[in-house]
Amino acid sequence: MKKITITTTFSAYDSIADLPLESQDLMQQAIKARINAYAPYSKFRVGVALLLDNGKIILGSNQENAAYPSGLCAERVAVFYAGANFPEAKILQMAITAASDTNTTTVPIPPCGACRQSIAEYEIKQDTPIIIYFMGEIGAVYKSDSLKNLLPFLFDKKYL
């Protein structure tokens, strides 16, 4: 047996104010989307803003459903909307923010596994890394230069 070590690198910013201006704006839009989340069951709201290479900004928020798991995470709402409405556009950046109605989230909250796999599909399809910024409600923001940092053993079409 041998062990395999995988190392990933993220950039850490103390707050939104430390991000590049374009990314600050994207995160502010994600915060607005988060406020519009439909989360009556989990009380956990997520907002996403995507910057496409055509200049469009796509927003998404989580949408829950009493018939769990029929709801959809914010990341997939935004990515699927972009794919359906701008199929030729590339996703350049993604800003994600999450907040709880019951306590203040102060640590960066990354996308769940299902969302990571969905984002991976688009990153592979467009053959361009997607820069991902993520945060809680307040505090630090982490930046990943590619989805592959978040999902190093991603499953893609080469396995089919």
Domains, the chain, ranges and CATH? 11-148 (3.40.140.10)
What residues form the annotated binding site? 62-68, 73, 112, 115
Task: Give CA–CA dist 116/16, Å, rounded.
Answer: 23
What does the mean pLDDT of the chain come to? 96
**Confidence check: pLDDT of 153 > 90:** no
**Which one is catalytic: 22, 75, 121, 123?**
75
CB distance 9 to 149 below 8 Å: yes
pLDDT (average), residues 127-145: 97
pLDDT (average), residues 128-154: 95
What residues form the annotated binding site for substrate? 62-68
Q: Which pTM does this prediction carry? A: 0.95
Asked if 75 is an active-site residue, the reply is yes
pLDDT band with cut points at 50, 70 and 90 for residue 156: confident
- pLDDT recorded at residue 48: 98
